[in-house]
Chains A and B, each alone.
Chain A
């Protein structure tokens, strides 16, 4: 009950924090799509490079987020961005690489070889094959990677409050430091709901982006 009253009284702050949160995740995952999808496609050309890239992306995933923020602070201090928005975005960008690269790579390599042969035999160039056949078919799996990246990183971004990046994590960190369950629960609830809502919206988007003939 207390929590509900708290939420009601702090609705403006909650909205502002949610927008901050989304700004970090949205920008970072957006950049991750722009980098991860091309990387995922590029590594389909060479199995050894692919293994190395996927291994590196997995390694990044194992770094605890709080440690990664810690590492980024001194590095980014050189350009005066040690704390706040920049390290949060960079961390989320790094964490998003694995699901996006891996799903893109898997989706492209799993395109039926017969389709590739038909496309080649009919006189498509490598780029035409990629944009007219392989990517449209790979869209649902690539989008599943994006969704996973978004959901994971909505959670990770909550921790970015500790390096002054703002977002919904602020409620949680204050809730802990001030032993205030109202703030803690508000933050936790908001992060969960945001993750669920984002996944839902992206699922809808995935359906829209998937070519009709490829939909299950």
Chain B
């Protein structure tokens, strides 16, 4: 969708030429979010702004949808690219509705159509159109303003979105909420998104691809997991942080780290049967499920062994369960919180799907570090 070929920008300054972007090559497909990361002055923003030609490239090509953007008129080009900036930049003299309709109006859309579109977009970003359409930017909170900023960029349904630290100025709590909302919207709309950030955690959360810049050079362009697990050089290793493996917890869902073939018991089963199953699977505990398959509790091996009775009489309560789609970060946090080494993992319907153990997590995260031969063995 967006393809950069040898994109280069050299700024002429009084102290000599400065290369802000040096033969940058990358491509971002439809539906992908690519986060541009790096320390300030590394060329990430320059690269982003060359795409909508707020900065004129010195050399190289930008291809959008298979077409070289040199062929477009600059103003026409910008109208086909959504643009969101950190300072939001809502026009204070216009209502929320007018702000959202800026690009549709520039494109000469029918007023009725563009106004309808504005109302739809407000719904999309979880703001009530009845309340907000006629408000002015100063009457909104920072988080609401940035939501409108995103809606405005989406107004003319551009295939490409450029976002320059869009959530940088929002407080941490609201930032998480807006990030989640944006991910949801993006999942539905499937834009090709280029996103500048200086926050590695934001990148890990949002990105399909991460591009790390230093001194105008693209140092690594890879999936977030690969950047964290296999930084290309010591600069990137430092940049992503010493806790980079912990950051990967966020990228993996609980479902992926499950032990397969998980045994379960029912309330009516005898303790003997429970003990037998535990021994067979080499487990110290076993989950008790109800008729619908939802976990209701667990039994310890030391309790089940050599005792008469049913599981229902001797089970303990589960401190917590974890959803299949939740990330390992949440899982590990729950484990620490309840001082347990495993969690019962449930699917969207609440049915038990398997045991998520600390060992399982360690094993999964460690996989990528083991040499190929050992992993196969």
Residues of A within 8 A of B (CB): 112, 114-115, 117-125, 128, 132-133, 136-137, 211-214
Contact = CB atoms under 8 A, between A and B. Distances in A.
Contacts of A122: 78-79, 83, 102-103, 106, 152
A16 to B, nearest CB: 42
Contacts of B93: 133, 136-137, 211, 213-214
Interface string B131-158: 0000011100000000000001000000
A83 B268 CA distance: 115
Most buried by B among A120, A121, A125, A132: A121
A120 B55 CA distance: 11
B106 A128 contact: yes
Given A115-B91, A132-B91, A120 B78 contact: yes
Contacts, number: 70
Residue picked from A114, A118, A123, A137, most chain B C-beta under 10 Å: A123
Q: Is the interface of A mostly helix, strand, loop or mixed?
A: helix
Contacts of A213: 92-95, 136-138
A212 B136 contact: yes
A123 B106 CA distance: 8
Nearest to B52: A121
A114 B87 CA distance: 6
A121 B91 contact: no
30 contacts: A112-B87, A114-B89, A115-B89, A115-B91, A117-B54, A117-B89, A118-B83, A118-B87, A118-B90, A119-B91, A121-B83, A121-B85, A121-B162, A122-B78, A122-B79, A123-B76, A123-B79, A123-B103, A123-B106, A124-B75, A124-B102, A124-B106, A125-B75, A128-B106, A132-B102, A137-B92, A211-B93, A213-B93, A213-B137, A213-B138
A86 to B, nearest CB: 39
B75 A123 contact: yes
B75 to A, nearest CB: 5
A122 B90 CA distance: 11
B296 to A, nearest CB: 55
B90 to A, nearest CB: 8
Interface residues of B, number: 26
B271 interface: no
Contacts of B64: none
A112 B19 CA distance: 28
Interface of B: 52, 54, 75-79, 83, 85, 87-95, 102-103, 106, 136-138, 152, 162
A137 B78 CA distance: 23
B91 A114 contact: no
A25 B152 CA distance: 45
Given A124-B75, A214-B92, 11 more contacts: A112-B89, A117-B85, A118-B85, A118-B87, A118-B90, A118-B91, A122-B78, A125-B75, A213-B92, A213-B136, A213-B137
B280 to A, nearest CB: 64
A123 B77 CA distance: 7
A137 B89 CA distance: 13
Contacts of B79: 122-123
B110 to A, nearest CB: 18
Nearest to B134: A212
Nearest to B74: A123
A114 B137 CA distance: 14
Q: List the 10 closest pairs (A to B, CB-CB), nearest first.
A: A118-B89, A213-B136, A114-B87, A123-B79, A123-B78, A211-B93, A121-B83, A136-B93, A114-B89, A213-B92
A114 B79 CA distance: 17
Nearest to A136: B93
Contacts of A115: 89, 91-92
Contacts of A124: 75, 102, 106
Nearest to B155: A122
Nearest to A125: B75
A140 to B, nearest CB: 11
A133 B94 CA distance: 9
Contacts of B92: 115, 137, 211, 213-214
Nearest to B135: A213
A133 B103 contact: no
Contacts of B136: 212-213
Contacts of B95: 213
Contacts of A214: 92-93
B75 A114 contact: no
Contacts of B54: 117, 120-121
Contacts of A128: 106
A18 to B, nearest CB: 36
Contacts of A118: 83, 85, 87-91
